[in-house]
Amino acid sequence: MSTARVDYIAPWWTYWLHNFPHINLRFQPVDNTFLPQDENYQQSLIFLGCVAAAGLGVTLLFLAVYLSCLCCCREEEEEESKRPNSCCVTWSAVTAGLISCAAVGVGFYGNSETNDGVYQLTYSMYNANHTLAGVDSLVAGTMGSMQSGLKQHLARLDEIFATRGDYVQTLRFMQQMTDSIIKQLVGLPDWDQSKVDLAAIADRVAQVEYYRWLTYLLLLILDLVICLMACLGLAKQSRWLLTTMMVFGVLTLILSWASLGADTATAVGTSDFCVSPDKFLMNQTKGFVSTDIVHYYLYCSQSLPNPFQQSLTVFQRSLTTMQIQIQGLLQFAVPLFPTAEKDLMSIQNLLNSSEASLHQLTALLDCRSLNKDYLDALMGVCYDGVEGLLYLCLFSLLAACAFCAMLCAIPRAWRHIASRERDYDDIDEEDPFNPQARRIAAHNPNRANMHSFCSYSSSMGSQTSLHPPAQAVSNAPVSEYMNQSVLFGGNPRYENVPLIGRGSPPPSYSPSMRATYLSMTDDQIRHFGNDFQA
């Protein structure tokens, strides 16, 4: 028996994943039919994880070779070669950061989609379990009332009506109807006897999904934090921060490849189920549920007969017949046997409650409820779930590429920062004509004062205490002085005006004079200034 399904069509990406090569660990092709208990099929999924592990090994080997070449090959330290390298590092870092941000965005979406699909699966499984549990409860309750309560009342009425053969014959007929009802109820499938507990499976799936969702959330946050900290390290030119991020980058690279392997194997296995879910479920239910019943619930087609229709019809007719018999006994036997009224009323109430249970049982056994739960579960797993897994695979792949680029850029940035620090270390901070030294002195006033031959403010007091003799002003152009003043200190200093008034330009000095000046103490400089003024 086969029925074409029109209410569920597997998405195209499940067929694409289903056609992936299925190879076991002995490199032998395996059938792609979903058989989770089969050892070869399990090995074919593990093989996909091993492919991701091989990709990780190739990536780590490439990084090792790259770092070895970077350490062994010394680059030239000329200015012309520094600028292109710095630009290359910058663009590599920017590219890695953009790819990492895109990967995190894709990962958040994929994680949410997968969680939605699994939630829809577990919700449908809980609903289906509630329906099946309701069927079992109604069947057990009805059988219990028929076997115990109804038979007890019939036994007492048999004693009361012992003198009336016609009434005893009616009781015997009601006993046959009761046995017929029990027989029909026993023929219904007992879902408790099945080996599959949907509620327990849903609980395990929900628990695994919670930890999976939380793990991916932490991994996404870790990727984002590492990317931001690496960018901060490049901006601040912090070598220790870049080194720390490089270590975490290697860890995240390993996690990305591991998640890629796990997601790929899960997506392929789920797609194998989604391509032919009916076949798998019929094989799983074989032995304790008939094929007609499974077919009825999986397809729920009007062309398929209800396998419970005959049992429910017999149940309804038997109840109707018993109710008619009880009404006759209440009308004709109670005036003759008043003590039988209590048992007859109890039987009538029991039949009324059984009829209510019959209506509920008919509604629960209808295929529309369970078929809807089945289709909702398929939509959740095969559409949202597998789609989310594909996005997570894309996230893992993008994250691996981003961190690989970052691990290539960080060592070059580290060397570039170290080279710049060596260049700064070569500058003489005691040189009074070094602009960097003047900036350091401005930020650190506790350093020893740097004296200039053209300034007496630090050694001879205020300019108001200087009384230079009146002399004719020199005809030397002021611009010449300003040029020499800029040569000494970088900016013209106004405390040098007394020298202009004396008609004396700033003295020039040789490198030997500079060395002598730097070796003098403050007292010697003051004494030298007094002599120079005199």
CA 403 vs CA 98, 99, 224, 253: distances in Å: 11, 9, 11, 6
Q: Give backbone dihedrals phi and psi of 29, rounded to 5 degrees, phi first.
A: -65, 145
- Sign of the dihedral through C-alpha 430, 431, 435, 436: negative
Mean pLDDT of 238-242: 77
Bigger pLDDT: 163 or 445? 163
Using the structure block, give the residue that is written with the tokens 């292109």. Answer: 84
Bigger pLDDT: 286 or 467? 286
Give the tens place of pLDDT for each residue, 458-509. 334 434 444 444 444 444 444 444 444 444 444 444 444 444 444 445 555 4
Q: Out of 142-151, 174-183, 230-239, 422-431, pick the least confident.
A: 422-431
Using the structure block, give the residue that is written with the tokens 């602009």. Answer: 435
Give the tens place of pLDDT for each residue, 348-385. 999 999 999 999 999 999 999 999 999 999 999 999 99
Nearest to 280 by CA among 387, 271, 40: 271
Q: Which residues are CB-contacts of 407 (< 8 A; sequence separation ≥ 6)?
A: 63, 246, 249, 250, 253
Give the tens place of pLDDT for each residue, 20-55. 999 999 999 999 899 999 999 999 999 999 999 999
